[in-house]
Structure 1
Amino acid sequence: MKLSPLLTVTLSTHPLGCQVLATLHSAFTLTVGYAIGIWLKSGDGNMTVVWTAKRDDPPISSNSTLELTVDGLLLKQGSDVQGQVYVDTEPAGFASMLNSGNFVIYAQESSSPVAVPVWQSFHHPTDTILGGQNLTIRNQLVSSMSTSDRSTGHYFLAFQRDNDLVAYPINSSAQSLDAYWASISMNLYGVEQLNLDTEGNLCFDHVLPCLVNNSNHQNQPQNTSSIYRATLDVDGNLRLYEHLFEDKEGIDITILWKARSDECQIKGFCGINSYCSNTNGNARCQCYPGFVPCNNETTGRNAMFLECKLNYSKDDCERSGDRNFLLYNIVSLEEMWWDGYPYWAKQMSMGACEKSCKTDCDCGAALYTNGQCNKYSLPLRYGSKASNELDTGMALFKVPSGYVFRGNTTTSSPKKPNAIDNNRKGLILILASTLGSISFLCVVFVVSIFFTYRSQVHRLAKLSASSKLGFTEECSLRSFSFDELVKATNGFTEEVGRGSFGAVYRGTIGENNRIRIAVKRMERIVDEGEREFRAEITAIARTHHRNLVKLVGFCIEGSRKLLVYEYVSNGSLANLLFKTKKHLPLKERLKIALDVARGVQYLHEECEVCIAHCNLKPQNILMDELLTAKLSDFGLARLSKPEFSRNRADKEVTTGYLAPEWQKEALVSIKADVFSYGIVLLEIVCRRRNIEVNVPSPEEVLLSTWAYHCFATEQLHDLVVVAYQEEDMDWKTLERMLKVGLLCVQDYPSLRPSMRDVILMLEGWKHIPIPPSPSPSR
Structure 2
Amino acid sequence: MGSFLFIPTVFLLFVLLVLVSGGSFSEFIYPNFSASHFQFVDNAGGAFLSSRNGTFKAAIVNPGAEQPNFYLCIIHVASNTVIWTANRNASISASGKMNLTAKGVSISDEDGNPVWSTPSLKSPVSALLLNEMGNLILLDQFNGSLWESFHYPTDTIVIGQHLPVGSFLSSTRSNFSIGDYRLIISDSDAILQWLGQTYWELSMDTNAYTNSNYIVEYMSIDRTGLHLLGRNGTVVVIQVLLSSSDLRIAKLESSGQFTVKSLSGTDWKQEFGGPADDCQIPLVCGRVGLCTASTSHTCSCPASFHAGSEDTGGCVPSGSFSLPFSCNSTINGSQLNSPAISYIRLDYGMDYFANVFSEPVKYGVNLSTCQALCSSDCTCLGIFYENSSGSCYTLKDELGSIFVSNTAKNDLLGYIKALVGSSPSNFSDNKNPSNQSKNFPVAALVLLPFSGFFLLVALGFLLWGRRRQSKKKEIKLGHFGSLSSGDMDAFYIPGLPKRFDYEELEVATDDFKTLIGSGGFGAVYKGVLPDKTVVAVKKIINLGVQGKKDFCSEIAVIGNIHHANLVKLKGFCAQGRQRLLVYEYMNRGSLDRSLFGSGPVLEWQERLDIALGTARGLAYLHSGCEQKIIHCDVKPENILLHDHFQAKISDFGLSKLLTTEQSSLFTTMRGTRGYLAPEWLTNSAISEKTDVYSFGMVLLELVSGRKNTLRLQSHSLNNSSSGGGQSSSSSGSALVYFPLFALEMHEQGRYLELADWRLEGRVTSEEVEKFVRVALCCVHEEPALRPNMNTIVGMLEGGIPLGRPNLQSLNFLRFIGRGFTEASMIERGTEQIDRVLYPEVNASPTTTTMDSRNYFSYVSSQQVSGPR
**Superposition TM-score, scaled by structure 2 size:** 0.41
**Superposition TM-score, scaled by structure 1 size:** 0.45
